Amino acid sequence: MSLSASKSNHGMVYVALVILALVTVGSSLLQFPGNVGIYIIFVLALAQAFLVALQYMGLKIEGYMVYGLIIIPLVLFAILVFLCIPDIAHYPLHLNL
C-alpha cells in the first residue's frame, strides 16, 4: 500500500469515526423502548473500536499470531458475559436514562 493511499484511508476512517460518534449521541437522545438504546450505543462503540484497531493500531497488516492473541481474550470475555446471563435474567436492569 502506498503512503498516499494510507493517508486517504486515515481521513476516511476519521470521518467515519466522527459520523459514528454523532450517531451515538443522536441515538442517546432518542427514546427507545426498554434497553434497545443501550444496545445500539454498544454496537456503535464496537464498530468504532474495530475501525480504530484496524486502521490506527495497524492490525490490518499484522500476521496470524496477533489475531490469535486477540481472539483468546474475546472468547474469555464472551464466556464471562454468558455466565452473567442468569444474574441479569434474575435481576433485570432498569435504567432511567
Q: What is the pLDDT of residues 26-58, one digit of tens each?
A: 988 888 887 888 889 999 999 999 898 888 877
Q: Note whether residue 26 is domain-resident.
A: yes
Placement of cell 464498530 in the chain: 47
Q: Could you tell me the residue range of the domain that residue 81 belongs to?
A: 3-90
Q: Note whether residue 95 is domain-resident.
A: no
Number of domains in the chain: 1
Q: Note whether residue 14 is domain-resident.
A: yes
Q: Note whether residue 75 is domain-resident.
A: yes
Inter-residue contact 27 to 37 (CB < 8 Å): yes
Compute the mean pLDDT over every residue in the chain, rounded to the nearest whole number. Answer: 80
Helix-strand-coil percent breakdown of the chain, rounded to 5? 80, 0, 20
The cell numbers describing 82, all together, are: 454468558
pTM here is 0.60
pLDDT, one tens digit per residue, over 60-76 is 676 777 777 878 888 99
Q: What is the pLDDT of residue 48?
A: 94
Q: Quick one: average pLDDT of 84-96?
A: 70
Q: Note whether residue 96 is domain-resident.
A: no
